[in-house]
């Protein structure tokens, strides 16, 4: 069996993201991925059993990266206002600094036949338990966690991917979103 090479695997992942965004899931083949990554198709199969497994593993890895980035500097000792501000800023910065990866994860997660086959992401458990604890301690309102999560992250995504806004406009809007979310969610 051939030895795995981290650089080749990284090239494959980069090729997957680039091609999926350009040609979609069905337009992206193993041979196109191999060509873009400058490896042979056989090399791709050293790392991944098939295309579906490859997409799921890459999606899962990048989803975990996003959640880990969100959880940077988050602790149970934070106030509700601090938590909301930190989540909004961390999410915005991740999208800004990793736009292609973010768009790949978004595209993948909106394709039910692919996303539904993925295992649950354990980092979400931490966010859910943190929200549960804050609700129990009457720091944030007792809404369903999925509602809170979508309420926080959807407007941030909208601002981050809006090409018509310059950075100063985005900063103003993010400050407004933070204030609106704090007013809506904090008890």
Alpha helices in 75-185 (DSSP H): 80-97, 99-109, 112-115, 123-136, 145-160, 167-185
The tokens describing 60, both together, are 């899962």
pTM above 0.75, yes or no: yes
What is the Cβ-side half-sphere exposure of residue 51, based on CA atoms within 13 angstroms?
18
CA 64/CA 47 separation, integer angstroms:
19
pLDDT surpasses 90 at 54: yes
Question: pLDDT tens digits, residue range 140-182?
Answer: 999 999 999 999 999 999 999 999 999 999 999 999 999 999 9
Domains of the chain plus CATH, in order, are: 1-48 (1.10.10.60), 51-185 (1.10.357.10)
pLDDT band at residue 3, thresholds of 50, 70 and 90? low
Return mean pLDDT, the chain. 92
Closest CA to 123 of 68, 58, 74: 68
Closest CA to 41 of 29, 56, 30, 27: 30
The three-class DSSP label of residue 148 is: helix
CA 178/CA 81 separation, integer angstroms:
8
* CB atoms near residue 18 (< 10 Å): 16
pLDDT band at residue 120, thresholds of 50, 70 and 90? low
Q: What are the CA-CA distances from residue 131 to residues 35, 69, 137 (Å)?
A: 45, 17, 10
pLDDT number for residue 108: 84
Q: Determine what percent of the chain is predicted with pLDDT higher than 90.
A: 79
pLDDT band at residue 118, thresholds of 50, 70 and 90? low
CA 47/CA 11 separation, integer angstroms:
12
């Amino acid at each position: 069996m051939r030895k795995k090479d981290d650089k080749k695997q990284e090239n494959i992942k980069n090729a997957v993201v680039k091609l999926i965004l350009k040609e979609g899931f069905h337009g992206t083949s193993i041979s196109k991925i191999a060509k873009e990554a400058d490896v042979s198709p056989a090399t791709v199969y050293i790392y991944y059993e098939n295309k579906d497994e490859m997409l799921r593993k890459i999606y899962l890895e990048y989803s975990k990266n996003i959640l880990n980035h969100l959880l940077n500097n988050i602790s149970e000792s934070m106030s509700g206002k601090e938590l909301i501000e930190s989540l909004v800023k961390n999410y915005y910065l991740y999208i800004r600094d990793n736009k292609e990866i973010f768009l790949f994860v978004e595209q993948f997660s909106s394709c039910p036949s692919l996303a539904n086959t993925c295992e649950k992401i354990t980092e979400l458990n931490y966010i859910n338990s943190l929200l549960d604890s804050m609700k129990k301690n009457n720091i944030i309102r007792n809404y369903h966690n999925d509602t809170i999560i979508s309420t926080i992250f959807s407007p941030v995504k909208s601002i981050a991917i809006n090409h018509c806004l310059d950075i100063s406009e985005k900063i103003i809007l993010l400050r407004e979103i933070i204030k609106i979310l704090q007013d809506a969610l904090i008890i």
